[in-house]
Amino acid sequence: MNILILGSGGREHTFAWKMTQSPLCNSLFVAPGNSGTAQIAKNLDLNVTDFQAIKKAVLEHKISMVVVGPEDPLVQGIHDFFLNDKDIKHVSVIGPQKAAAELEGSKEFAKEFLVRHNIPTAAYKSFNKTNVEEGYAFLETLNPPYVLKADGLAAGKGVLILNDLNEAKTELKSMLVDAKFGEASSKVVIEEFLDGIELSCFVLTDGKNYKILPTAKDYKRIGEGDTGLNTGGMGAISPVPFATDDFLNKIEDRIVKPTIDGLKKDNLPYKGFVFIGIIKVGDDPKVIEYNVRMGDPETEVVLPRLKTDLVEIFQAIANETLDEVVIEIDERAATTVMLVSGGYPEGYEKGKEITGLENVEGSIAFHAGAIEREGKIVTSGGRVMAITSFGNTYQEAIKKSYQNIEKLHFDKMNYRKDIGFDL
Ligand code: AMP
Ligand code: GLY
């Protein structure tokens, strides 16, 4: 089978790395891909939201499965686009249809879904520019810190957590009235602050059945000790040591089952990954958010631990036979450390040559914001490369990642040296 992966990050390199190991995969294409995917698949110079160009490539390369990495094409309805076009409706698309992708596309939609299906989450109310004053009044009823979320997609930047009531009011106004995050903040969800430790739970579903993948924890802040600005993720660990069997059972019973049942009840067609951001408050899990795709860099630790053929799993998702698949997981821990461009998540330079990759031993270098140019591998984004390792413990794994990072270099390379510090 010929397969196309959409996306260009470390997540997509990891998908490609895993899928090329499958005997079911003939030719693998990645659009637009990066220097890592170029080494194991064929990159296609396409934009992930240019559906017509994707259709053309699918027909030209006789592609029968499309695996969607990022959320944008899903929220814009790529799966529906395929189903509604007679030339490509036979192609399996891994990712939910538009109506279900709203779980990530709209925070308000997700909160309504959670409440409707009795899934534990923070109390909330949502506001728009016609009722800003009511928003101020609601803030006054809460205790700090105040959590303000732009309703729509804001590239991971739309959540503000503020200690000061007046600042929270000012920010609410700036989001609703001054369009701080553009159209994405024309509605704002204000919610109760939950105090606890976070983890991510990944679920595969074919719309009827589900399978739970290993948990992971990512490190979102740029600075050591979880300080500074939010990033896409600076590193990750799987499994999460504090996710005991008892806690995982609670997650399955209280969150995963009602989520999958809720999708069915609400007629939200879903074939793909459900990424549930969870916070452990006391001994209880609560949902922070849904994403309708895999996480990045969580993928770089979750997929390497998956022993089962990923293409076989995707076929089962397409055929709605996921219940027949046995998911086998490597017992070892996996860790990844993200190398980023100096300055990220604010302004940074690109085009810096990355050296030392040939010396990496006992770890896997998943390329993210890196491309090939004139025979050299150079940086092309903020998050550049994820160095993944296995170990009997996460401490052993992380040590290996750091040892290999010593061998890598690019101008102004930065990374967190404390991944796992809080566990
Ligand atoms: P989200 O985009 O909804 O995942 O929010 C981004 C980050 O903000 C999360 O990963 C949490 O660290 C934090 N966050 C979101 N909602 C809450 C909440 N209700 N209480 C505490 N922290 C939160
Ligand atoms: N690492 C968080 C995310 O992919 O959204």
pLDDT at 310: 98
pLDDT, tens digit, 9 for 90 and up, residues 11-40: 999 999 999 999 999 999 999 999 999 999
Ligand 1 contact, 198 CB (< 6 A): yes
Tokens matching residue 239: 């499994």
pTM for the whole thing? 0.95
**pLDDT average, residue stretch 49-68:** 98
Q: Which range has the worst mean pLDDT, 130-144, 252-266, 335-349, 398-412?
A: 130-144
- 171 in a domain, yes or no? yes
* Containing structural domain, residue 63: 2-96
Are 266 and 370 spatial neighbours (Cβ–Cβ below 8 Å)? no
C-alpha span between 397 and 266 (Å, rounded) = 42
- 294 in a domain, yes or no? no
Residue of 412, 423, 264, 265 whose CA lies nearest to 348: 412
Q: Do 130 and 183 lie in a common domain?
A: yes
Residue of 270, 409, 416, 392 whose CA lies nearest to 338: 416
Return the ligand number nearest the Cα of 294: 2
Q: What CATH number is associated with residue 167?
A: 3.30.1490.20
- 176 in a domain, yes or no? yes
C-alpha span between 422 and 286 (Å, rounded) = 20
Sign of the C-alpha dihedral computed for residues 271, 334, 216 and 9 taken in this order: negative
CA distances from 149 to 127, 141, 296 (A): 10, 17, 21
Backbone angles phi, psi at 20, to 5 degrees: -70, -15
C-alpha span between 333 and 288 (Å, rounded) = 25
Domain's final residue, options 79, 96, 113 = 96
- 153 in a domain, yes or no? yes
Ligand 2 contact, 233 CB (< 6 A): yes
Distance linking the first and last C-alpha atoms of the chain: 42
Are 287 and 277 spatial neighbours (Cβ–Cβ below 8 Å)? yes
Query: For a pLDDT cut of 90, what percent of the chain falls above it?
Result: 89
Ligand 2 contact, 289 CB (< 6 A): no
Return the ligand number nearest the Cα of 195: 1
pLDDT, tens digit, 9 for 90 and up, residues 345-389: 999 999 999 999 999 999 999 999 999 999 999 999 999 999 999
- 32 in a domain, yes or no? yes
- 246 in a domain, yes or no? no
Atom 2 of ligand 2 has which residue's CA nearest to it? Answer: 295
Q: What CATH number is associated with residue 45?
A: 3.40.50.20
pLDDT at 179: 85
Are 198 and 288 spatial neighbours (Cβ–Cβ below 8 Å)? yes
- Count of domains in the chain? 2
C-alpha span between 233 and 231 (Å, rounded) = 5
- 163 in a domain, yes or no? yes
C-alpha span between 316 and 97 (Å, rounded) = 17
Given a cut of 90, whether residue 185 has pLDDT beyond it is no
Q: What ligand 2 atom has the least distance to the C-alpha of 220?
A: 1
Domain's final residue, options 171, 191, 211 = 191
Ligand 2 contact, 420 CB (< 6 A): no
Given a cut of 80, whether residue 264 has pLDDT beyond it is yes
Are 384 and 341 spatial neighbours (Cβ–Cβ below 8 Å)? yes
Identify whether 239 is preceded by a cis peptide bond (ω within 30 of 0). Answer: yes
pLDDT at 249: 98
pLDDT at 186: 85
Categorize the per-residue pLDDT at 230 as very low, low, confident or very high, splitting at 50, 70 and 90. confident
Dihedral, CA atoms, 14, 16, 18, 22, nearest 10 degrees? 180
**pLDDT average, residue stretch 55-65:** 98
Instruction: Calculate how far, in angstroms, residue 420's C-alpha sits from the geometric centre of ligand 1.
Output: 19
Given a cut of 80, whether residue 106 has pLDDT beyond it is yes
pLDDT at 154: 84
Categorize the per-residue pLDDT at 132 as very low, low, confident or very high, splitting at 50, 70 and 90. confident
Q: Given the structure tokens 């891909």, which residue do they identify?
A: 33
pLDDT at 158: 87
Q: Which helix (H) or strand (E) holds 249?
A: helix 245-251
One-letter amino acid at 97 equals Q
Atom 8 of ligand 1 has which residue's CA nearest to it? Answer: 159
Categorize the per-residue pLDDT at 316 as very low, low, confident or very high, splitting at 50, 70 and 90. very high
In sequence order, what are the beta bridge partners of 389? 335
Does residue 292 or residue 159 have the better pLDDT? 292
Does residue 36 or residue 172 have the better pLDDT? 36
Domain's final residue, options 191, 223, 246 = 191
pLDDT at 182: 82
Q: Do 70 and 128 lie in a common domain?
A: no
Instruction: Calculate how far, in angstroms, residue 278's C-alpha sits from the geometric centre of ligand 1.
Output: 9
Q: What ligand 1 atom has the least distance to the C-alpha of 196?
A: 21
Q: Do 65 and 128 lie in a common domain?
A: no
Q: Do 85 and 128 lie in a common domain?
A: no
Give the CA angle between residues 44, 50, 56 to the nearest 5°.
60
C-alpha span between 67 and 82 (Å, rounded) = 12
**pLDDT average, residue stretch 187-205:** 94
- 17 in a domain, yes or no? yes
C-alpha span between 423 and 418 (Å, rounded) = 11
Q: Which helix (H) or strand (E) holds 74?
A: helix 71-75
Given a cut of 80, whether residue 156 has pLDDT beyond it is no
Q: What ligand 2 atom has the least distance to the C-alpha of 156?
A: 5
Atom 4 of ligand 2 has which residue's CA nearest to it? Answer: 295
Does residue 167 or residue 6 have the better pLDDT? 6
**Long-range Cβ contacts of 353-359 (<8 Å, 24+ apart):** 353/377, 353/378, 353/410, 353/411, 354/378, 354/379, 354/384, 354/385, 354/408, 354/409, 354/410, 355/408, 355/409, 355/410, 356/407, 356/408, 356/409, 357/408, 359/404, 359/407
Q: Do 145 and 84 lie in a common domain?
A: no
pLDDT at 373: 95
pLDDT at 133: 86
Ligand 1 contact, 72 CB (< 6 A): no
Are 133 and 274 spatial neighbours (Cβ–Cβ below 8 Å)? no
pLDDT at 130: 86
